[in-house]
């Protein structure tokens, strides 16, 4: 019994040193040496390419907010909807976050967790539907549903195409130009077969800004 | 088409690993592969043991319990003292006693249930020293128990079953650590973060958004999370978070890693007992069940979401996108969910709570059948071997043949231990679910109402009782009530099966081998595979059917009703 206790204590300490300190620190060392950009969050001038942002509040003079940019997927119970109950806060018991403070000190990443027969989900989806229709967009299912992380940075090329009428009207860039921008920015399946094709919303909007101010 | 190739490449990669990593693991555990002996030997010297010194099953089980007890104490202490410890750039305070109890139970039992909120609760030091350590250690303990039961079949009239300290040291150094380092570098290369600097603040001039982005030593924790079938994430969103699972490639690798060791252990079993066909029979049963469940979930998730349809979006060509990430797509999310619930991993790349009733039901029942297809690291193999012993016993009774498995007579003691190993989990889960739905504190938990709310409670207790760790995330689990009963659920679910498994190994090792005769029931042919699948489904199906029918079944059948 005493021998077992002593051995256990020694092994617990060995594991603590090897796997709690040496392993993660080795990871930090190797990652910072070989993949510095990725290891620090893939941060570019306008944010992280991996973390979604809220584009719905972008000021668009003469048009509804958010109409002059491509928008990502909604977050946490429809913050895009004007009547969104949880807009701007993160009440206890509701995992998920507000895109304005995405993944930061004021909110956790996470999903809405609403079930497929949830009355609440019906209500929020209706609000999101109205939100898009007010902007002249016939939404696809990604545009009215929240993601698993709540900070999904991507939409599908079809989702982006659905937003073209809105962006074209607010920016004056022609639909054909927007379509070719989407085609240029779209990423196919990785290695030809993995996952599903997507467009990064931040990169798409950076491309759009270049079209507007060449 | 992409999905077809995803599955095909996984099958090929796992098939190759089965043969080669499996062969390597046999060499390691038989002590033939020793290239790391320069690290191994000093560890044995510090422990005061050596590979030649074997333990009885009682001493082996005692080592497991005492070692896990101390690990629990250390994990609990780190979480409670978090506020005063270094590597805490966000200055998080101490984790409360209820949550620390739950989290320590969770990580020491290889459950990795997340009542904690990741980036919002835990410091870098807690993630590294409290969580990551256990993510390495607990699968090694599982491998140890699996080796004991394998040795039960290979040893003849032996009072000993191996040396716990040697088994876990080898599993850690030769198997878990090297694979994790290589995979960790790939994950970081794809975009997983790995840094000790605190959150970054950014301002985007294009839309006026200011963001605080949490970082941390994530990538290397992520890979051991998958490889060790742990599932506890760095971030609240687990593998849906782009810093944990940035690309479709890391998603594929995650699925590969979480299936890897459990699948390879069937080769280790076959090779060590001297007939690879025996391992193939076990693997075949696993693959058939896994394939069936994957097909069910994939089809179910391609159906439109009824609530989204009700809101006016009738056309949903990609299926149920609620809670799923665009970069993975619907089919890979369904596959990930099945892989993670049938391996006791419990990581999540999508919101399981928002799966369709049938899809979510597939995740739930995958855990209820004991997570043996292929199950957790070590725990999958020892649990399916317990089922196999029951199958041999039942099959033997039915045809009047001698119940023997691999030359060992299956008698009263073995059947009692196997019965204990298969019944403890369902009993614990069902009793605790009954308690939770009877008490106000339990009923306050679910986010969704109606049958889905019941599913959330049932899922939580099934997940913890099976040491899975995935969740129908709507349940508010971080309450005193759920923290306490969840911790109890996880400890019983782990040690209530692990100890009977080690005992079974000890009892079998003490027996002599009887030569196979004409009356011996064969355990390496399709008949046995069918029988084994039948036993798994009947034990899981009959015990849980009433509970499942109150949740997913009612939900699926409630056409046109919303709750």
| CB neighbours of residue B399 within 10 Å | 9
- pLDDT in the model for residue A102: 33
- pLDDT in the model for residue A99: 33
Report how far residue A26's alpha carbon sits from residue A70's, in angstroms, rounded to the nearest whole number: 40
Give B309's contacts in chain A (Cβ within 8 Å): none
- pLDDT in the model for residue B400: 83
Report how far residue B88's alpha carbon sits from residue A149's, in angstroms, rounded to the nearest whole number: 24
Is B200 close to A69, i.e. CB distance below 8 A? no
Structure tokens, B71? 């690990």
- pLDDT in the model for residue A76: 52
Report how far residue A155's alpha carbon sits from residue A205's, in angstroms, rounded to the nearest whole number: 12
Closest Cβ opposite residue A147 in set B118, B325, B474: B325
Q: Mind giving me the DSSP string for B492-515?
A: HHHHHHHHHHHHHHHHHHTSPPPP
| CB neighbours of residue B86 within 10 Å | 8
Is B62 close to A4, i.e. CB distance below 8 A? yes
Condensed to tens digits (0 to 9), the pLDDT of residues B318-339 reads 999 999 999 999 999 999 999 9
The pTM for the full model equals 0.95
Is A104 close to B248, i.e. CB distance below 8 A? no
Three-state DSSP at B468 gives: coil
- pLDDT in the model for residue B410: 93
Structure tokens, A44? 């570019």
Q: Is the dihedral of CA A22, A104, B483, B339 positive or negative?
A: negative
Is B562 close to A112, i.e. CB distance below 8 A? no
Confidence of residue A110 (pLDDT cuts 50, 70, 90): confident
Whole-angstrom CA distances from B61 to B52, B66, B148, B153 are: 18, 9, 10, 18
Is B311 close to A144, i.e. CB distance below 8 A? yes
Give the pLDDT mean for B469-495: 95
- B331 to chain A, closest Cα gap in Å: 8
Put simply, whether A95 touches B (Cβ < 8 Å) is yes
Confidence of residue B202 (pLDDT cuts 50, 70, 90): confident
| End-to-end Cα spacing for chain A | 76
Residue in chain B closest to A34 (alpha carbons) equals B189
B345 pLDDT above the threshold of 50: yes
> Which among B391, B415, B491 is positioned nearest to B110, based on CA atoms?
B491
Confidence of residue A78 (pLDDT cuts 50, 70, 90): very low
Look up tokens 């982005």; give the residue: B213
A100 pLDDT above the threshold of 80: no
- B460 to chain A, closest Cα gap in Å: 14
Give the pLDDT mean for A30-37: 97
Three-state DSSP at A35 gives: coil
Closest Cβ opposite residue B185 in set A5, A30, A116: A30
Condensed to tens digits (0 to 9), the pLDDT of residues B352-380 reads 999 999 999 999 999 999 899 999 999 99
Q: Which has the higher per-residue pLDDT, B90 or B194?
A: B194
Chains A & B: contacts with CB separation below 8 Å: 409
Is B195 close to A122, i.e. CB distance below 8 A? no
Candidate ranges A108-117, B175-184, B474-483; pick with highest mean pLDDT: B175-184
Give the pLDDT mean for B86-98: 93
A97 pLDDT above the threshold of 70: no
Condensed to tens digits (0 to 9), the pLDDT of residues B389-409 reads 999 999 888 888 778 999 999
- pLDDT in the model for residue B24: 98
Tell me the Cα Rg of chain B: 23
Name A190's bridge partners: A194
- A214 to chain B, closest Cα gap in Å: 15
Is A43 close to B213, i.e. CB distance below 8 A? yes
Buried b (16+ CB within 10 A) or exposed e, B178-204: ebbbebbbebbbbbbbbbbeebbebeb
Confidence of residue A113 (pLDDT cuts 50, 70, 90): confident
Name B402's bridge partners: B520
- B436 to chain A, closest Cα gap in Å: 18
């Amino acid at each position: 019994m005493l021998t077992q206790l002593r051995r256990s204590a020694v092994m617990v300490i060995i594991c603590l040193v090897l796997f709690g300190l040496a392993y993660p620190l080795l990871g930090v060392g190797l990652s910072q040496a070989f993949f510095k950009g990725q290891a620090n969050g893939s941060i570019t001038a306008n944010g992280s390419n991996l973390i979604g942002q809220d584009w719905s509040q972008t000021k668009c003079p003469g048009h509804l907010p958010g109409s002059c940019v491509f928008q990502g997927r909604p977050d946490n119970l429809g913050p895009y909807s004007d009547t969104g109950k949880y807009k701007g806060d993160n009440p206890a018991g509701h995992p998920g976050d507000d895109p304005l403070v995405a993944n930061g000190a004021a909110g956790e990443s996470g999903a809405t967790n609403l079930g497929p027969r949830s009355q609440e989900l019906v209500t929020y989806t209706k609000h999101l539907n109205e939100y898009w229709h007010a902007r002249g967009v016939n939404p696809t299912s990604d545009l009215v549903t929240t993601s698993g992380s709540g900070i999904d940075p991507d939409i599908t090329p079809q989702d982006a195409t659905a937003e073209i009428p809105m962006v074209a009207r607010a920016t004056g860039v022609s639909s054909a130009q927007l379509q070719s921008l989407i085609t240029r920015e779209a990423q196919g399946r990785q290695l030809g077969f993995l996952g599903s094709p997507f467009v990064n919303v931040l990169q798409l909007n950076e491309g759009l800004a270049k079209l507007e101010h060449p | 088409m992409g999905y077809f190739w995803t599955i095909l490449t996984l099958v090929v990669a796992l098939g190759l690993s089965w043969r080669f990593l499996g062969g390597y693991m046999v060499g390691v555990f038989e002590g033939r592969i020793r290239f790391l002996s320069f690290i191994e030997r000093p560890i044995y010297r510090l422990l005061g043991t050596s590979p030649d010194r074997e333990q009885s099953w009682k001493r082996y089980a005692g080592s497991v319990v005492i070692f896990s007890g101390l690990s629990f104490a250390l994990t609990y202490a780190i979480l409670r003292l978090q506020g005063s410890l270094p590597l805490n750039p966000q200055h998080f305070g101490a984790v409360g006693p209820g949550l620390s109890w739950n989290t320590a139970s969770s990580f020491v039992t290889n459950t990795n249930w997340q009542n904690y909120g990741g980036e919002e609760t835990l410091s870098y030091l807690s993630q590294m020293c409290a969580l990551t350590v256990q993510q390495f250690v607990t699968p090694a303990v599982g491998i140890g128990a699996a080796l004991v039961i394998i040795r039960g079949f290979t040893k003849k009239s032996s009072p000993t079953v191996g040396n716990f300290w040697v088994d876990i040291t080898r599993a850690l150094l030769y198997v878990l650590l090297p694979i994790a380092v290589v995979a960790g570098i790939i994950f970081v290369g794809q975009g997983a973060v790995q840094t000790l600097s605190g959150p970054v603040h950014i301002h985007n001039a294009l839309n006026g958004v200011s963001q605080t982005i949490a970082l941390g030593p994530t990538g290397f924790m992520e890979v051991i999370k998958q490889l060790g079938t742990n599932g506890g994430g760095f971030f609240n969103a687990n593998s849906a978070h782009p810093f944990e699972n940035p690309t479709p490639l890391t998603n594929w690798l995650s699925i590969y890693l979480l299936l890897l060791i459990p699948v390879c252990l069937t080769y280790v079993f076959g090779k060590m007992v001297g007939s690879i066909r025996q391992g193939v029979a076990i693997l075949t049963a696993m693959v058939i069940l896994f394939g069936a469940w994957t097909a069910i979930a994939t089809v179910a998730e391609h159906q439109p979401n009824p609530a989204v349809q009700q809101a006016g979006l009738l056309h949903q060509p990609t299926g149920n996108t609620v809670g799923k990430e665009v970069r993975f797509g619907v089919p890979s999310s369904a596959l990930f969910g099945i892989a993670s619930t049938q391996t006791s991993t419990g990581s999540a790349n999508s919101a399981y709570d928002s799966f369709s009733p049938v899809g979510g039901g597939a995740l739930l029942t995958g855990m209820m059948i004991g997570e043996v297809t292929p199950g957790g690291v070590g725990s999958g193999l020892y649990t399916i071997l317990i089922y196999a012993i029951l199958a041999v016993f039942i099959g033997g009774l039915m045809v009047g043949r001698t119940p023997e498995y691999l030359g060992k007579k299956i008698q009263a003691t073995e059947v009692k231990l196997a019965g204990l190993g298969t019944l403890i989990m369902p009993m614990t889960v069902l009793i605790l679910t009954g308690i939770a739905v009877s008490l106000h504190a339990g009923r306050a938990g679910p986010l969704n109402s109606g049958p889905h709310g019941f599913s959330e409670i049932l899922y939580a207790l099934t997940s913890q009782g099976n040491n899975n760790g995935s969740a129908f995330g709507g349940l508010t689990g971080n309450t005193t009530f759920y923290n306490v009963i969840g911790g109890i659920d996880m400890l019983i679910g782990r040690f209530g099966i692990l100890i009977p498994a080690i005992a079974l190994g000890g009892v079998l090792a003490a027996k002599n081998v009887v030569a196979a005769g004409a009356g011996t029931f064969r355990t390496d042919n399709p008949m046995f595979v069918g029988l084994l699948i039948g036993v798994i489904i009947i034990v899981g199906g009959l015990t849980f059917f009433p509970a499942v029918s109150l949740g997913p079944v009612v939900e699926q059948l409630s056409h046109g009703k919303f709750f």
